[in-house]
Structure 1
Amino acid sequence: MENLEIFGFRALWSPYYLTSIVIAAALYLLLVTKGKHRATVKEKTLFLTGLVLLYAVKGSPIDLMGHIMFSAHMAQMAVLYLVIPPLLITGLPAAIWERIIQTPGIQQMFRLFSKPLIALLGFNGLFSMYHIPLVFDFVKTDPFYHALMTVVIFIAAFFMWWPLVHKVQSQPQITGILKLGYIMADGILMTPACALIMFSEAPIYATYSDAGAWIQALHLCVPSDTLAGLALTGPEMFHTLPLLEDQQLGAILMKIIQEIVYGSILAVVFFDWARKERAKDAVPDALIPKYE
């Protein structure tokens, strides 16, 4: 197998993207340590973890592998859409979110797209549409539409997570048993896209099975002059997994990561709901008659 280093430092480590992440982290720390709205240690940890993961999946060799192996792509998508958004939402103090949401234009956007039903259908609809082979292969070979689709689905994922994890008092939030239903519905809605990929009897994406389309897709993360100097024949140069098995593994990884994330959230929501229900049913000691 060939070594990924043949693609060069820029393709492997995306120095410009790393610079933007470092700047974002510095601005965040400046805002939450020097500004009026201080963040807790927990909030800082969550937000910075989100930024580190964002660089890992979009700026490190993982991003390059996502253009070579479909399984790496699906693991990348799972972290980008299911792990990073809740970390960024909960890592920014509620008071700062309040000010952001009050901005003209953004306020109307939140009012519409953070509604639970719209948020659920919006994210899962876009995710499923993206993985239709015709759409997928077109997007993966066009830098503009690839960037646009990634940003749009990320924003949709953000709104999907918002009703579950935000702490802004002025914003509606689903609570209690409704959260359980919301999470389960989210898991169900993502299943058809994963099932289509998992149970296909042949590779369905040209950008991972056809050498020409695959090389064209590599232009998204590898400089053209670097690609021009390489003798590439296909993704099998960099891994030994058969194309169909790689495709099926991708769907399995997406579902496994989804189940871990949603299962963790379900556990937290359920035990929090149960604790509150017990607290409501408890009779205050002052109301219990005492007999001497």
Structure 2
Amino acid sequence: MLTLDIFGFKALWSPYFLFILIVFTAGYFVLTVKFRSLFPDSEPLTKTQGALFLLSMILLYAIKGSPVDLLAHLMFWVHMIQMAVLVLVVPPILILSIPNWFWRKVFTLGPIDSVFKVLTKPLVALILFNGLFSFYHVPIIFDHVMQNGWLHAGYSILLFFVAAFMWWPLLNQLPEHQTLSGLKKVGYIFADGILLTPACALIIFADTPMYATYSDPHVWGEVMSLCVGTANFDSLNLSGPQLFSSISLLHDQQLGGVLMKIIQEIIYGVILGHVFFEWYRKDQAETEQEMKQPLNPLLIK
């Protein structure tokens, strides 16, 4: 089998994308640390918040800037891992990494607060995310998007944002943006898992390869030309992704669907545990507070 080294350093490590993430990271720490005093009611950045932001940037680069992104154009199961991290792992980490005072400042800019409140309504957020994710993996749409660099980048960004909208009702710490109670959060997680299942099932139980991006040498060539450059790709004389993997196209596709569902269940299970214990701690705190309150003398008599 061939190795990825034939594609060159630029295609493997995406230096421009790395530069963009470094700029974002520098801007985050400059605003939340160095110039924090310019924002009223701001609070010091915690070590946990800083670490979470760094982790989110590292994960973004790992899936979209490292050789993993190139592998996702060669093997469908890698693409599904990439998508799982992009929409199920990075957004919640990023939400938790941004201080509340910074979120409040963002919501004072124009109509952002009103738009955000609409798009993060639980029902709207669930339909938006699961609808766009499932729509993306319809074969004819997937193949078309993958053959257009701007469409691919734009749809990836769109999925990332709607995933953040989906996670917001569960994880945000702003009282004015709390739309779900403890029990409703549990139902929200279960509903999210159910809505994502049809797309995974379609991929898992298909009896033939569905995506021309991985099965049609011509379409695959168009996709790879966008990824590594037309001149560079044409000089390699490659016939298809099978040169880089020993797994069959159908098994590659089925493995992708299974991995997506497993990763989703693990992440939702972790969030469910977090929501449950948060709900339990809040209930215990309220009970203790009630017990500490002095009894009404009239009730004693």
TM-score higher than 0.5 here?
yes
Which residue does 2:85 correspond to in 1? Answer: 79
Q: How does 1:253-272 map to 2 (within 5 A)?
A: 253-272=259-278
> What count of residue pairs does the alignment treat as equivalent?
289
What is the Cα deviation at residue 279 of structure 1?
3.6
Kept in 2: contact 1:95–1:168 (CA 8 A)? no
What is the Cα deviation at residue 269 of structure 1?
0.7
What is the Cα deviation at residue 114 of structure 1?
0.9
Structure 1 pair 262/151, CA: closer, same or farther in 2 (3 Å)?
same
Q: 1:133 aligns with which of 116, 139, 143?
A: 139
Q: Using the alignment, how far apart are the partners of 2:68 and 2:122 within structure 1?
A: 32
Q: Using the alignment, how far apart are the partners of 1:279 and 1:103 within structure 2?
A: 35
User: Identity, % of aligned pairs?
Assistant: 48
Q: 1:215 aligns with which of 217, 221, 224?
A: 221
What is the Cα deviation at residue 147 of structure 1?
1.3
**Of 177-186 and 34-43, the range deviating more from structure 2:** 34-43
- Give the 3-state SS of the residue equivalent to 1:136 in structure 2: helix
Which residue does 1:172 correspond to in 2? Answer: 178
Q: How does 1:107-126 map to 2 (within 5 A)?
A: 107-126=113-132
Kept in 2: contact 1:114–1:160 (CA 8 A)? yes
Q: 1:203 aligns with which of 200, 209, 222?
A: 209
Q: Give structure 1 regions of 4+ aligned residues with deviation exceeding 4 angstroms.
A: 285-288
Q: Using the alignment, how far apart are the partners of 1:219 and 1:105 within structure 2?
A: 40
Q: Using the alignment, how far apart are the partners of 1:263 and 1:59 within structure 2?
A: 28
- Give the 3-state SS of the residue equivalent to 1:278 in structure 2: helix
Which residue does 2:20 correspond to in 1? Answer: 20
Q: 1:230 aligns with which of 233, 236, 249?
A: 236
Kept in 2: contact 1:66–1:72 (CA 8 A)? yes
What is the Cα deviation at residue 141 of structure 1?
0.6
What is the Cα deviation at residue 287 of structure 1?
5.4
Q: Using the alignment, how far apart are the partners of 2:69 and 2:91 within structure 1?
A: 18
Kept in 1: contact 2:71–2:79 (CA 8 A)? yes
Kept in 2: contact 1:166–1:173 (CA 8 A)? no
Q: Using the alignment, how far apart are the partners of 2:180 and 2:22 within structure 1?
A: 34
Q: Could you state the TM-score of these two structures normalised by the residue count of structure 1?
A: 0.95
Q: 2:291 aligns with which of 280, 284, 288?
A: 284
Cα-to-partner distance string for 1:61-118 (whole Å, 9 max, x where unaligned): 0000011100000000000000000111110111011111121132232021011100
Q: Using the alignment, how far apart are the partners of 2:162 and 2:24 within structure 1?
A: 21
Cα-to-partner distance string for 1:119-138 (whole Å, 9 max, x where unaligned): 00000000000000111110
Q: How does 1:30-179 map to 2 (within 5 A)?
A: 30-36=30-36, 37=42, 38-179=44-185
Which residue does 2:247 correspond to in 1? Answer: 241
Letter in 1 for 2:20: S
Q: Using the alignment, how far apart are the partners of 2:3 and 2:197 within structure 1?
A: 35
Q: Could you state the TM-score of these two structures normalised by the residue count of structure 2?
A: 0.92
- The root-mean-square deviation of aligned C-alpha atoms, in Å, is 1.6
Q: Using the alignment, how far apart are the partners of 1:3 and 1:90 within structure 2?
A: 38
Cα-to-partner distance string for 1:244-263 (whole Å, 9 max, x where unaligned): 00001101111111111110
Q: Using the alignment, how far apart are the partners of 2:275 and 2:98 within structure 1?
A: 20
